[in-house]
Each structure stands twice: as structure tokens, then as C-alpha cells.
Chain A
Amino acid sequence: MLEVRGLTKAFGALRASDGIDIEVREGETHAVIGPNGAGKTTLIGQLAGNLRPDAGTIRFAGEDVTALPAPRRARRGLARSFQITSIYRDFSTLQNVALAVQAHSGHSFRFWRPAFADEALISPSRKILEEVGLEKRMHVLAANLAHGEQRQLEVAMALATRPRLLLLDEPMAGMGIEESQRMIAFLQTLKRRHTIVLVEHDMDAVFRLADRISVLVYGRVIATDVPDKIKANPEVRRAYLGEDA
């Protein structure tokens, strides 16, 4: 589904991405982990289309998307959620999702009919909110949602665009234990129907959700394997624990 070859991005002398190779198979949940400063944010930026790589290619569903800007990748089915919550704060929860649905409903050069009265946008939005568990907060202003709810909204908006691949950037960021558990349970249901690239720090979530894990250190992938083998991998242990010891 997603094929990354030799992805390189340097900021001056700093090689944030140093020849990254990753392969994500259809239907799998592929986690990307790594210590701070490994270059995860830069990698996400390039996968989503916000950063131009200096070298390397990104192929999505068989198509070379390296030069495609973010909106066009999104329209092709590559959806992302943001690590730092990025929702429409001055719109309601329902409207947030409706906008995502609208973005995926062809062009928006319609000038007359009110968008938020359009059942074609509202029904799917309501369904998605039910899936995610936010339907009781439909009409609340997004800015007034609790942090955990906002993170749920992030995922909901990604789902609303009927993605082929979900790029989730630390979905659990800033969540307490209970909220995290709920999110993990939700992601486990998502797993069955979507291909997911998951960037996370929360190791509990990673080992419960990932089919395979790629470990990123200083811009390079040092290992890609199933969770058990990664746990046992000496290089990985050194990268994580060696620094912490």
C-alpha cells in the first residue's frame, strides 16, 4: 500500500531523514517508533505531503506521490491526524466532520445550498461520530471539547475522508490512562478495516496494535519486524535503553 524508498531530508547539516526505507502492506497496522529526535515528525511531514524530500520516492497504492501536495494525497485516500490537535475550533464537532466529508465529496464549487443543512454531508458525519463515540457532543463547539475528545475528533475527521491509509501521528498524545485505553480499544476496531501507519510513544499501545514495527533512530530505520522480535532486538534495546540508563 505504501512504499518508501531512500527518503532523505536534510536541514542544513542535520539529516532528519537519512535514506529511509519502509514498506506498509495493505491491511496491516505498521508502527513507527523511535527516541526523541529520531526524525519521526519529519517523516510524517514527508508522507503527508507537507515537506518535500531532498531525495527518495514515496509510492502510495502503486502510484508515485512524491511530488504531490498534501491536499491531493488526501483526496487519493491518504488521511492523517495531527500530533498537536488541529481541528476547526470555531465550528461544532458535527461540522468539523461534515467538512471532512465535504472535502471527499468532489469539488465544492456549489454556491447556493447551505452546506450544513445538506443530509448528504450530515448523515455520514453523524455515523462517524457514533463510531468514534462522540455523538452526544455533536453540537458542542470544538474548542469546548475535552482534550481527549478533541483527539477523538482528529481521528474522526481522518475517517470521514474514507481513507485507504490512515497516518496517525501520536493519537494518544496528552491523554490520561483511561482515555488512552478507550482510544486503543477504538483503534483495535479500526485495525480490522484500515491500513494504518501509527507513530506513537506509548509502548503499550504500540505492542497491542502493531502488526509490524519500524524503529527509527537518527533518521534511519534500524529494524523492521514483528513486535516480539523488535522487543528482543539488541540494537533497538541499545537505542532506547542505552540512552536512558
Chain B
Amino acid sequence: MRGKLFWIAAITVLAALPPVASALGEPFYIDLVRRIMILAIAAASLNLILGYGGMVSFGHAAYLGIGAYSVSILAFYGITSGWLQWAVAIGASALVALAIGAVSIRASGVYFIMITLAFTQMLYYLGISLEVFGGDDGMRLKAKSALPLVDLGDAVQFYYVALVLMITCVFIIFKITNSRFGMVLRASKSNEARSRAIGFSPYPYRLAAFVIAGAMCGLAGALYANHTNYIVPGFMSWVQSGDLMFMVILGGMGTTAGPMLGAFALLIVEEILKGWTEHWQLWLGPLLILSVLFFKRGLAGLLERRDA
């Protein structure tokens, strides 16, 4: 089956990257691809609510920030256990998602977009105003999360941790979107009036999906903190939210491979543009506009044949 073949190939290539890169003397690519995979987790979580659920949440980067700050703040106070830090990252993100979701999801269309954006901005300002954690300048990660068996300080080990987690998260999303729960979400996106008429009340399912997505993005945030070593409020900026949305779109909304493909596509394009000019956003902007106008089906749409 075409799908399975794709995944086997993808995992093989990604698993082979570190030894190949080291052999070629280009360890930079290990870092780059690791960053892409971490953000792919965030994109996969957004794909659940945006791609499958049709909820245009412009504030998803908030959970990236919450996850990152959870790790960093706990490390600041001397708590370096990876399990604890990451549990807090996921838990805090879930709670905030629950709070924001409870208020926003009842709102329709445009209101939802603006409200999620506004709440994320609120968290961003909160981050800036907390001088104790660096405020606008951000804070350095005191120590990496301590996990049993692996050392996140080792670039290659961290890479494989990220790879495993990315595959796991993508798989979890795959299972969820094909389960009964996922079907309610997808049906409500496809035709809300019809869903209500047969007896589905979309709200509880959307809220649950919102919380799950937030929690998974929180995990991405925890990984991201360990990757960048420097945590800034900018993690929660809406530019970051926009980037995540583009990854979902470019990769193909409502597909399993989409977020991963989109993350790779967007971030590699960014790297290439950055290499050419300092003003790379001048080119990225119009590129994104054109992709919205002409490339809606995304990369996964090119790879998969159309199926129901």
C-alpha cells in the first residue's frame, strides 16, 4: 500500500540522517531536522483541530510557549526531572486549552479566530511582563530535562528522541482521527447542520479535541525548550502561530502525513531564503499568499490519490 511505503521510506531516511550527516561532517543538519521534527509535532496537533476539525485557531503557538516555559521555569527553580517537567508542560497546556476553549469554541467563525488570537496575545504579554523570567529578553535554559536512558545534551540521542516522539504523536493523531471521536469532529466540519440533525452536539467533542491538541503542542514546547536552550515570549507570538498554520496547510489539511511534510517544506524553504537574503520574509510573504491561492490541496494531496 502506497501509504505504508511512504512511512517506511520516511522513517528510514530520518533514522539514517545522523550517521550520514556526521560522516559528511555536517552536524548542522542534525540540528535542523531535529527542529523541524519538533515543530512537526506542534503542526500535527494543530492539524487535529484545524485540518480535521475545521477550527481556525490562530493561537496555537500559545501552547508551544507554555510547554517551553514550564520546562524552563521548573529548571530555573532546580527541578530538572524530565518526567516531571514534561508532565507539567502537557498538563499546563491542557488546562489553558480547556480555559480558552471553553470561552472560544461556542463562538462562530470569525469570532473564534479573533478570540484565539487575542488570548494568545494575552499570554505573550504576560510572558513579556514577567521580569523574573527574563521578560522580553527571555531566559536561558538552566539545564536540559533529565530523562532516564537518554542524554538530551547529546545531539544525536536528542534527535532520535524527537524522531520517536514525532512518529508516536503522528500515530496517535492517526488513531484519534479514525476513531468515533474523530468522526464526530470530521463530520461536524463537513456538515455541521447535518451533524446536529442526526444527534451530534459538536461542542464537547471540539473542546476535547482542543485540549488534546493543546496538550500535544505543550509536549512539543517542552522539546523545543531543550532544543533552543533559550526561551523567549516570541515562542507564543502570532507569527509563530501563523507559521504552524502554514505548515498544516502546505502539507495538506486533514491528512496524516501533512503536518510533517508541511513542517519540512516551510522550514526548509525558510532556510534557503535565509541563506539568500536578510530580508527573506519579503519573499516568504508573497510565497505564502500564492500557495494559499493556488496550492490548497497541499503536498500530501500530491502524494495520495484522492480517497474518502
Contact = CB atoms under 8 A, between A and B. Distances in A.
Do A and B form a real pair?
A: yes
B190 A74 contact: no
Contacts of B205: 108-109
Interface stretch (A22-30, A112-120, A171-179): A112-120
Contact of A91 (B179, B182, B190, B200): B190
Interface stretch (B76-84, B191-199, B290-298): B191-199
Given A87-B191, A88-B191, A111-B175, A99 B183 contact: yes
Contact of A115 (B178, B199, B208, B308): B178
A100 B197 CA distance: 9
A100 B176 CA distance: 19
Contact of B199 (A82, A88, A104, A112): A104
Interface extent on B, as a size class?
A: 20 to 34
Residue picked from B179, B187, B193, B308, most chain A C-beta under 10 Å: B308
Contacts of B191: 86-89
A63 interface: no
A87 B194 contact: yes
B212 to A, nearest CB: 9
A120 to B, nearest CB: 10
Given A90-B308, A91-B308, A111-B175, A69 B201 contact: yes
Contact of B308 (A87, A92, A110, A114): A92
Interface residues of A, number: 38
A71 B190 contact: no
B184 interface: yes
Interface string B194-234: 11111111000100100000000000000000000000000
A108 B184 contact: yes
Interface string A67-95: 00111101100011010001111111001
Sort A-B residue pairs by CB-CB distance and give the 5 closest, nearest first: A74-B199, A103-B199, A103-B198, A108-B180, A71-B201
Interface of A: 48, 50, 69-72, 74-75, 79-80, 82, 86-92, 95, 99-100, 102-104, 108-116, 118, 141, 157, 160-161
